[in-house]
Structure 1
Amino acid sequence: MADIRITQAHKLPHKKAKAAAQKVADQMANEYEMASEWDGDVLHFKRSGVSGRLTVGEQEAHLEISLGFLLKAFASTIEEKVSAKMKKVFGAKA
């Protein structure tokens, strides 16, 4: 069960929305040593203590993150940062 769930509306064409998600995945891989892999429109990501998926839809992106025991205490802080990043990346004013 996910500890963090965020849905972000967007107005990007589907291809650009997936490209934006990939850009974030690349940054996460560099900063946090996080591996990611696409399965259709779903980007699965994982590293020690964190796993999740980002589903890119036509008008919204839906993120689910599961945190390991040691990171659960930081869930609200992580959610704030990730939510702000999603707003920036997907540029929605919903």
Structure 2
Amino acid sequence: MSRIHIERSHQLDPQTLKGLVDEVAVTLEREYALNWHWAGQELVFRRSGARGRLVPAADRLTITLELGLLLRPFSMGISDAIEQRLDELLS
């Protein structure tokens, strides 16, 4: 599996951060057919060929995504798209 790991710092209050993460989850479900659920404080998501976690912390947001064989060739584009979207959401 190919692994993508992205971290971004933020200054959001906990309620705003939770709302943002929920919004991201709904978008992932709608646009990429990802299934998701909360596992404690982590948002866990999965679809055929990909699985990952989004971990919101007090000052940092971390995304780890593992891509299967068929999605590996697209890993750089996927990583760039995630980074761009996170930068938009956190600015």
TM-score normalised by the chain length of structure 1 = 0.91
Please say if residues 17 and 90 of structure 1, whose CA atoms lie closer than 8 Å, have aligned partners that are also in contact: no
The equivalent of 1:69 in structure 2 is: 69
Name stretches of at least 5 consecutive residues in structure 2 with no aligned partner: none
The sequence identity of aligned pairs, in percent, is 29
> Aligned partners of 1:47, 1:8: CA distance in 2, in Å?
24
3-state SS, counterpart of residue 63 of structure 1? strand
Q: Cα–Cα, structure 1 residues 38 and 2, in superposed 2: closer, same or farther, change >3 Å?
A: farther
Paired AA for residue 69 in structure 1: L
Name stretches of at least 5 consecutive residues in structure 1 with no aligned partner: none
The equivalent of 1:16 in structure 2 is: 16
> Aligned partners of 2:87, 2:71: CA distance in 1, in Å?
23
> Aligned partners of 1:51, 1:84: CA distance in 2, in Å?
20
- Mapped pair 1:47 → 2:47: yes
> Aligned partners of 1:38, 1:2: CA distance in 2, in Å?
23
Q: Cα–Cα, structure 1 residues 2 and 64, in superposed 2: closer, same or farther, change >3 Å?
A: farther
> Aligned partners of 1:9, 1:42: CA distance in 2, in Å?
16
TM-score normalised by the chain length of structure 2 = 0.93
